[in-house]
Amino acid sequence: MDRVDLVIARDLGQPIDPNLSVPVELAEIANVETAEPGELVRIFDCTDEDANADDIYSADANGKLTLHKVSAVTPATLTFVGLQSKLEYVLINEVLPAADQNALARKKAGISRGMDKQEVKRVCDAILALDGDTGEADCETVQGSNDDLYDLIVAMVHQVEDYATDYVLLAGSSVKEAIDVYDKVNADNFNYRVGLDEYLRKAGITVIKVVGTVNSGAILNTSKMILVGRNSKLAVGRPITFVRRKFSKEIAALMNVTEDSPVRAISVAQAPTIIAADTNSNLLGYGVFGYESIIEAITNYRAISWSTYTA
């Protein structure tokens, strides 16, 4: 008979959706990569490429070229951060004598959902920390929380359109609701045709509503919106890179992880633990938690802008 902990680990380890390895928000705005165990992750800063004027090699009458010397670029080595879910339990009476697939699925979904939220929040928090400290005044933040929503979104596009196209707008719940009702709310004020939905389509902007909380904090504040240009003129790929590190086979085996080359471990204790005890009974269960090692990096801040909108 299979060990119960291995049965639980096998069932919990199955992906909820094998075609969706990361949250939708990250899949839309980031380059998603994996790193091998022990591999260093280095990121090259491409944001200075626009600092110098474009140079064209020119030849004089004698064929002599005018050259522009480019200094060597030093990459930054990034540090992985470990994310761990809270410790969950699966009661023995739920898994013996046979595993309760529904109970295991709920645990798996809850753990994965919480870790997905934390991944998205970390990226959003990193973007919102871009506040002009890179040396150029307000190079990322579009100011004016009391401005008209249409004007704010247009200003955000103007902020990045010289550097990127193909936009995604991550919108807090209040911003998304204001976008949905913008035309109706302002119908009496229009002296000329102004259609926000029409502009979003014309500008090639995909709107994604970001909701939910993790660790008692909102993934994205309801009044915030983030614009990401996914097709940059400065660098190949998207302006954000998200990396998960693979587990070695040895570590995966110790954690009862049954997937090949896992990047997120759903670990199950090998023996049941007393979860609660009283004078009459002991409540036993298997401890379950999730763990992963990740990096998120903004490699091209010029392709990103954000703002606050208050109706």
pLDDT tens per residue, range 147-181: 789 889 999 999 999 889 999 999 999 999 999 98
pLDDT for the residue numbered 210: 96
List the domains of the chain with CATH numbers.
Answer: 4-48+73-308 (3.90.1690)
pLDDT for the residue numbered 138: 41
pLDDT tens per residue, range 74-132: 677 888 889 998 888 877 777 665 556 666 667 777 888 899 999 999 999 989 887 75
Q: How many CB atoms lie within 10 A of CB 58?
A: 9
Reported confidence tier of residue 140, pLDDT bands at 50, 70, 90: low
Q: Does the pLDDT at position 141 exceed 90?
A: no
φ/ψ (deg, to 5) at 239: -80, 0
Least confident of 73-82, 208-217, 249-258, 268-277: 268-277
Reported confidence tier of residue 191, pLDDT bands at 50, 70, 90: low
CA 142 to chain centre: 21
pLDDT for the residue numbered 139: 42
Burial class (CB in 10 A: 0-12, 13-18, 19+), 128: middle
Q: Give the C-alpha distances (Å, rounded to integers) separating 297 from 51, 129, 168.
A: 21, 12, 18
E strand or H helix at 197: helix 196-203
Reported confidence tier of residue 53, pLDDT bands at 50, 70, 90: very low
pLDDT for the residue numbered 250: 87
Six-digit token pair at 73? 């670029």
CA distance 271 to 99: 15
Residue among 95, 119, 93 at smallest CA distance from 290: 119
Residue with the larger pLDDT of the pair 36 and 107 = 36
